[in-house]
Amino acid sequence: MRVIVVKSPQEMGKEAAAIIADGMCSKPHYVLGLATGSTPVPLYNELKRMHKEDGLDFSTTVSFNLDEYIALPATHDQSYRCFIDEHLFDDINIVKGNTHVPDGMTDDIETHCMIYEAMIEDVGGIDCQVLGIGGNGHIGFNEPGSSLASRTRAVDLTPETIRDNARFFKSADEVPKRAISMGIGTVLEAEKILLLATGANKAKAVAAALEGPVCIKVPASGLQLHPDVTYVITEDAASQLTLRYRS
């Protein structure tokens, strides 16, 4: 695995965007797996800049978001559909019909999740999956205890995640308690994985993911089983790592 340690979130965004742009240039109909949260925002800002100033073309790009809150309409300003439209899609030339976010309002979650997986398969799988990491080591909304073979499904959020995400809502009571998330097994099928982390509050989770045992207590540790993972992390997020890595 590669670990690229950078000085700032902006530098992280540039490193990660360069990796994605390289991939997009080498393959038409590039399939991106996208994450929400504050961490990937500098990446999305850089992709938007590259589109505007360098002509990076998203017209044939397809995307699948990792997750969505259950029972939050796509029009809600904290829905992940709203987030990714606002932080990325509205400012690039991606075709909205080629962008996919799980539907948290579906009345048949199981079928919806099966169809989501089938759509990923139909386009030949995800070329590059972007991930953030939760303070408890979650990826997407795969909370501790998620099977490393899990697929897209409904999940219950832990009290820690609800507390972490309460900053985006008026109160913790308003944070949805459930979500639809791609599984760890789904994520592990991506050709390439880019995990981003910034801030000292992620240092423990990053160290457990990279250097701890592969175990369901730390969902991101499952990435140790993938042959092509690049971590792009700031110095503070890397501060608890003890080994030397290829960058």
Q: Which is closer to ligand GLP, CB of 41 or CB of 62?
A: 41
Q: Which is closer to ligand GLP, CB of 38 or CB of 78?
A: 38
Tokens of 166: 């309460």
Going by C-beta distance under 8 Å and a sequence separation of 6 or more, which residues neighbour residue 151?
Answer: 113, 117, 182, 183, 185, 186
Let me know: does 178 contact 157? Beta carbons within 8 Å: yes
* 67 assigned to active site: yes
Q: Are strands 153-156 and 99-100 parallel, antiparallel or unpaired?
A: unpaired
* 136 assigned to active site: yes
CB atoms within 10 A of CB 107: 7
Closest distance to ligand GLP from the beta carbon of 38 (Å): 4
Q: Which is closer to ligand GLP, CB of 133 or CB of 232?
A: 133
Task: Check 67, 68, 103, 127 and give the catalytic one.
Answer: 67
List contacts with ligand GLP (CB under 6 A). Answer: 35-39, 66-67, 132-134, 140-141, 161, 165
* 143 assigned to active site: yes
Task: Check 68, 98, 138, 142 and give the catalytic one.
Answer: 138
Closest distance to ligand GLP from the beta carbon of 57 (Å): 26
Tokens of 144: 């501790």
Tokens 């590669």 — which residue?
2
Closest distance to ligand GLP from the beta carbon of 65 (Å): 9
Q: Are strands 178-181 and 67-69 parallel, antiparallel or unpaired?
A: antiparallel
- The catalytic residue positions are 67, 136, 138, 143
